[in-house]
Amino acid sequence: MAGTFHFDAEDRSNAFITRVESATFGDGRLAGIPLAVKDNISTRGMQTTCGSRILEGYIPPYDAHVVELLREEGAAIVGKTNLDEFGMGTTTENSGFGPTTNPHDPARVPGGSSGGSAAAVAAGMVPMALGTDTGGSIRCPAAFCGIVGLKPTYGRVSRYGLIAYSNSLEQIGPMGRSVADVGTLMEVICRHDARDSTSYDRGYAHAPSGEIRGMTIGIPAEYFGEGVDPAVAECVRDAIATLESAGAIVEECSIPSMEYALAAYYVTCTSEASSNLARFDGVRYGPGVGTKRSWHDEFQEFRGEHFGREVQRRVMLGTFALSAGYYGKYYAKAQVAKENVRRDFLRVLKSVDVIAGPTMPTIAFRFGEKSDPLSMYLSDVLTVPANLAGVPAISVPCGRVEGMPVGLQIIGQHFADEVVVDVAFAFEQEGPA
């Protein structure tokens, strides 16, 4: 039955940028279920900021494909969630609308960049939310907030209406309290869409199965190497032992291209960002730019004032990486590295069904703990490979260290989103809450 959802849950974590107090909904599989949408996904008639002051007040005239699908299934969209500006960050500290806090400990970050969606789910404000994952932005906050988050195979969910940051890497994906909820949301948003030229016609209709007997799980040495907190590694090894006792076969494996995957990721995403974010000049949307002075004077001042520091840093790094004389050293090499990472995953996933390891090398950071950009970037080392390879990856809660949630990451073959969901579901049935 269609109706109106009154959204009055208290937002103690600053999870939302925009709230809809009375959200109308229709009939369908998600009828009356309150759903939150990350604020870089276009919602018709509802402010969409990307967490940036440069888009404050922007009201999209159209819905993203995934939002159309949510509405068709009757969901009550109760608001737009906070994020690192344009998705650029690992903590949701870089938002133009203030940081989101972790519902498990307000002194810690919720992870990012889909930190608002993760916090809204973890705090019980909504059962499910949409996030986006360019280099771990669904899986990282899912791990830090103790919820489930899936980055689908590249191409499986349409990016139409997602405000682009790094097109070749990013995917929209479901986040939820349970694997079953994530599977339900995936069934709704996974549809072919001709408006995204990278969209595959491969729908998702799958009830999760906990049967993993005989399935092989590869454990890459690189996922337990330097920089991974030993307590987190132990927690994840215990989780893998749980899968083994449920009948899975565990094998060691190696992904040598991990050595340069992170560098390839940051060169690629900053380069694409420098191009994608050129459109934010205050002329067509957001706070208006002045029209009196010359174009470069007005744009430079506007972008200097309205972009946050991390966005400026990445746009400038990308501008440099694409500039004459440096293209071959950075961008071209990064694309070769990206292909090597894809080949590594294809090779390993020929002999095992899935790969497992920690989602993040540590538990959620304290606010301000990572003060220089490079050390922040290094914390993405375990999540970016799946984006470079285009393969599906899920994070499922697998225990706690110092009272904070730890995520088990399961990575599968291209279009084997169903398999990673099954392994996560099996763990959820067997493992610690």
Name the residues that contact other proteins, by CB under 8 A: 57-59, 61-62, 194, 197-198, 259-260, 263-264, 266-267, 274, 278, 281-301, 303-305, 307, 312-313, 315-317, 319-320, 323, 329-330, 333-334, 336-337, 339-340, 343, 372-374, 377
The CA distance from 269 to 87, in Å, is 11
Catalytic residue among 38, 80, 338, 370: 38
Q: What is the dihedral of CA 80, 82, 88, 91, to 10 degrees?
A: -150
Closer to other proteins at the Cβ: 241 or 278?
278
**Tokens 């995957």, located at residue:** 261
Q: Which residue, among 40, 96, 143, 158, has the nearest Cα to 311 in the 3D structure?
A: 96
Residues 6+ apart with CB under 8 A from 285: 55, 58
- In angstroms, what is the minimal distance from the CB of 13 to other proteins? 29
- In angstroms, what is the minimal distance from the CB of 148 to other proteins? 32
- In angstroms, what is the minimal distance from the CB of 330 to other proteins? 6
The CA distance from 327 to 96, in Å, is 31
Cβ(100)–Cβ(92) below 8 Å: yes
Closer to other proteins at the Cβ: 48 or 171?
48
- In angstroms, what is the minimal distance from the CB of 388 to other proteins? 12
* Beta bridge pairs of residue 401: 404
Closer to other proteins at the Cβ: 125 or 376?
376
Closer to other proteins at the Cβ: 213 or 329?
329
DSSP-based three-state secondary structure for 128: strand
Tokens of 54: 């440069």
Q: Is 137 a catalytic residue?
A: yes
Closer to other proteins at the Cβ: 29 or 329?
329
Radius of gyration of the chain (CA): 20
* Ramachandran sector of residue 324 (left: φ over 0; alpha: ψ -120 to 50; beta: rest): beta
- In angstroms, what is the minimal distance from the CB of 290 to other proteins? 7
DSSP-based three-state secondary structure for 10: coil
The CA distance from 77 to 191, in Å, is 19
Tally Cβ neighbours within 10 Å of residue 430. 14
Q: Is 42 a catalytic residue?
A: no
DSSP-based three-state secondary structure for 281: coil
Q: Is 38 a catalytic residue?
A: yes
283 alpha carbon, distance to own chain's centre: 29
- In angstroms, what is the minimal distance from the CB of 161 to other proteins? 12
Closer to other proteins at the Cβ: 247 or 288?
288
Catalytic residue among 13, 52, 95, 113: 113
Which active-site residues does the annotation give? Answer: 38, 113, 137
